[in-house]
Structure 1
C-alpha cells in the first residue's frame, strides 16, 4: 500500500508513544502490513521514508572483475584485440564465477572508457603554425603526375596557405617554408609538424624525447622558433591543418583537370584559398584573413636574409688535397690531408667545413664529371717544393685574375718569390692586402719580399 509522507511520519510518532502496530493501523486508517513494513525499514536503514533508501553502488565482485578486464585490455596491441570468448575463458580459469553476458557488458564499458576523448584547445594569436603534406594525382601538360602540396594553417585564425612542389623532401620543405614566411610576413614562435623522416631522427625510449634532424635544428636556431612534433597516430593534435588538407583535396575536384604547368596550378590554388580565407571564421566574428593580420602583431619578424639549405656528407681529404664529391674534386687546405671533413652542398654551392664548423673553402658546384677545382692558397707548401712546374700547373691557370696580373707584372713570372709572397700575405686580412697593393701602385714601386715584410710588420 502506498503511503504519504505525512502518514509515514505519524506511524513513527505513534510508535514512539508506545502504541501497538494494530492500534497505529487503526488510528491512521491503513493496513497492518504497511505499518509492519515501515517499522522494519526504520530499524534497518534509520529512515521510515521509502524514497530515501540509498543502496551502495559498490559491488566487490564487479569491481575486482572489471579491474582484471582492464589488465587484459592493456595487453592488447594496436591491431590485435581479445575477443569476448577469450577474455571470458581467462577469467574462468582464474576462478571468477560470472556469466558470459556480464563479461560482455563489462568489456563494452571498459572499452568505452579507454576511447580517446579530445580536449577543446584554445590557441593564442600569433603563437603557432601547423604544417602537413598533401598529395594528389593531377594532369600536367597532358601527363598524369603526383603533385605534392605543403600546407600551412594558423589554428587561431584558420588562415591557410598552400605551396605546390614536385617532391616531398627537405629541399622542397625549405622552399615552401620560405614562400610561406614571405607571404605571411612574420615568423611564428611554434611550428607544429608530424613525425616525418626529414624532421625526426628517432625517439629516445629512455627519455621519450624526439630528436630533430640537423635541418630542423638549423631552422629552429635561424628563425628562433620551437619545432614541435605530434604524438604518432594522433592527427587530432594538428586538426586545423588536417582539415585544410581535406579542404584542398575537395577544392581540387572543382578545378580544371588539365594544367599547363605547376605555376598555373599554384595560381589556381592561390585564387581558391584567397576566396576561402575571406570567409567568416566559424567561431569568431571576423574573416580569417583579418584575424591573420591581427596575429602579425604577436608574431616575430622575418630575418633580412632567408635560410639557405645545404645537404651534408662526410669525405676524406686525399694526399693531393682534393676531396671527391659527385664525380668532381675540390681542393682543401694542406693541413687536412687524410682527415675527415664535411661537404655541405646545394644546387649552386659547395662548402668544405671542418669538424669544428669552420669553413675551409667555398666553390661553385660543378655538374659535369671529372672537374678539378684548385685554390692556390690551399697548397702553397706543396707548390714551393715544385715551383719550377708552377707555370704549367692547373693551380696557376685557376688563380683569380688579379693574382695572375700580379704574377706576370710584379714578379715577372718568378714562381718561387711569388709563392713566398702568397705565404706572407695568406694570414693577413683582405683590407691589409688591398692597402699593400694600393701603396705600391700609387708610389709606383716594385713589390719585393723584403718590402712586403716591412709593410706588414709596420701596419
Structure 2
C-alpha cells in the first residue's frame, strides 16, 4: 500500500513518468501504469462519490488472480494424469481393483517422466476428477516379538505373455510393521505351510503368536459362536514351531489391521506399475526386492528394518525347517507317466504299470520306487499339461 501511495505522489506531485517511477522503485511498468489509471479513474468520478480517491489510496492493492493460468498444471500434464486415471478404469474392468495406481504412485511416475509438479497439485487435480474414499485406522500397542499377522492376497500377472492368477502370502510383524511376502500358484495347505517355513527362516526366529482370519487352510470348522477348530496343517505348524495362534472374529478385518494394510501396500508397490515378467522366479525376486524397499522406508523416526532389528533377538529360537509335503501312491500308465492334478510327469519306461510313492510339495514332485528315487519334476499348476522336462533321477 505504501508503494501505491509513493507511485501516486511521484506521478502527480513530481511529474515523473511511469517509466521513471518503475525504474526508481524497481516495480513492473504494468503495475505502475495500473495504479495510475485506477487513481485517475477514481478522480474522474469524485464529484458524485466524494471519498472515491481518498478511499482508493487507503485500500491495499487488489490482484485479479482468477485469470491466471496454472504454470505447472498445463494441458499436457493434465492429459498425462488423465491417462493414468484411464489406466485405473481399465484395470477395474479387468478385475485388478487392488492394483490401482494411487495419487502418490502417479506423482512418482510423473517425476520419472521429467514433469516438474508438486504432489499437492497432482492430488488437487485428481480430487477434482475422482471422488476420494477414506478409511480410518486405530493404532494399538504391541510388545516386540509377540505377535505377527498373516493373510492371503490375490494378484494377476502376465507370466511369459500369459495372464496368470497368483496368490501372495503376506506376513506383518505387529510391533515393527516389518513385511515379508511370497508368491504361490495356489492358496492351499502346502503353500500355507511352505510360506511359514520360509518366513521363520527369513526372520531367524519365531513369533510368540500368529494371527489369522477364518481362512480354510487354518480353520477346519466352527464349533460354536466364537470357537473354531484348527486344521491339521495349522496344528502341525504350531506344534513344530511352538507358537500360539489367534483367529479374528467374522467380518472383523480390523483385528489384523497391520497385514490388511500390508496386503494393499505390498501388492500395489510391487505390481501396480510392473506386472509383466518372463517367469515366476523373476516375479518372486521383484517381490522380495520391493519388500526390502518398503521395510527401508522411514515410519515416523525409524524404519521397519530398524524396529525389527530390536525385536529379532527376542524371537523364540527357530527349531529348523519343517517338511511340508503330501504323499501319494500313483500308478505309471502305458505312456510311462504318472498323472497328478490332470498333469502328466514322465518316469523311466521300465516302470510301466508299477506303483510309485510320490512326494509332492509346493515346488516339485519326487517319485520313489521301492525306496529309491527315480524321477524329480518341477510341479506344474496348469491343466492337462505334459511338462517337456526330462525326469531327473
* TM score, norm. by length of structure 1: 0.43
Bigger fraction of residues in helix: 1
Greater radius of gyration (CA): 1
Q: Looking at both structures, which has the greater relative contact order when contacts are Cα pairs under 8 Å and sequence separation is at least 6? A: 2
